Amino acid sequence: MNPRPLCFGHRGAAGEAPENTLPAFQRALELGMDGIELDVLRCRSGEVVAAHDLTLRRLIPGHGRVKSYTYPELKTLDVGSHFSPRFAGERIPRLEEVLDQFGSRMWLDIEIKGRSIRSDGIEEQIVRLLQERKLFENVILSSFNPFIVRRVQALDSRLKVGFNYLQDSSEPLRKVWFRSLALPFSLHPQPAQVDQAFLAYAQKIKAKVLPWGVNEPAEIQRLLALGVDGLISDYPSRLQILVHK
């Protein structure tokens, strides 16, 4: 890890460009971010695509679940106009496009979406894509679902895995159950969860601390003072000013 914390653009640069699109990822790169965080799902035709929500309604009113569309159908949808007219026509990219354009240039924190204990095969697909490109050093595969993290680690122990947390995650779940399922490279809490006790726990299990959704300048400065290993923000330009100064 760098002496200073690693800086990641959340969903690319969700506060500055349409989330999980190539322009958002490019924005983070141009602003000097060390990495990007993106979310992935499987669509109906089996491709792994960059999308946060299970449905498209938030980005395109009236549209349904991502898994109900084939990728050729998804490619026709405009996921940029909701953010700004200047992004009209931006589409949902496939994971391999992101890997090919950014995988050798910056860290990738790939959050695998999914609530089920059972797998739909997405872990195997992602691991295969990474193996084909020999992307092991600068990739973290993370999830809120510990069973997904466990499956990834079982598929290839060379891959780094991370646990994502919501603030209401119970302490036993975070500290006992999650860790019993996999050995994380990193923990990804919300900013309010991070204090000296959290950092001490992470140090004890030799895990990096990479809070996500770190958007307010005061919160960025607090976490910098605590000594976190990284920051994941919707606003890479703020990290550029406060961390890279």
**What single letter denotes the amino acid at residue 78?**
D
Residue 1 has pLDDT above 50, yes or no: no
Neighbours of 154 (CB within 10 A): 11
| 2 burial via Cβ count (<10 Å: 0-12, 13-18, 19+) | exposed
Q: Is residue 226 part of a domain?
A: yes
Quick check: is 148 in a domain?
yes
Residue 132 lies in a domain: yes
* Structural domain range at position 111: 6-54+94-243
Q: Does residue 181 fall inside a structural domain?
A: yes
- CATH number for the domain that contains residue 194: 3.20.20.190
DSSP letter string over 79-138?
A: -STTT-GGGTT--PPBHHHHHHHHTTTSEEEEEEP---SS--SHHHHHHHHHHHHT--TT
> Does the annotation mark 63 as catalytic?
no
Distances (CA, A) of 223 to 89, 217, 240, 242: 37, 10, 15, 11
Query: Is 68 within a domain?
Result: no
- 197-218 confidence digits (pLDDT tens): 999 999 999 999 999 999 999 9
In a domain? residue 216: yes
Model confidence pLDDT, tens digit, residues 85-137:
999 999 999 999 999 999 999 999 999 998 888 888 999 999 999 999 999 99
Q: Which two tokens stand for residue 238?
A: 């703020």
Asked if the structure places residue 82 within a domain, the reply is no
Q: What is the pLDDT of residues 78-94, one digit of tens each?
A: 999 999 999 999 999 99
List the catalytic residue out of 10, 82, 188, 244. Answer: 10
Q: Would residue 10 show up in a list of annotated catalytic residues for this protein?
A: yes
75 in any annotated domain: no
Beta strands in the chain (DSSP E): 6-10, 35-42, 48-50, 107-112, 139-143, 160-164, 186-188, 208-209, 230-233
Q: Which of 52, 63, 82, 188 is catalytic?
A: 52
- How many domains does one find in the chain? 1
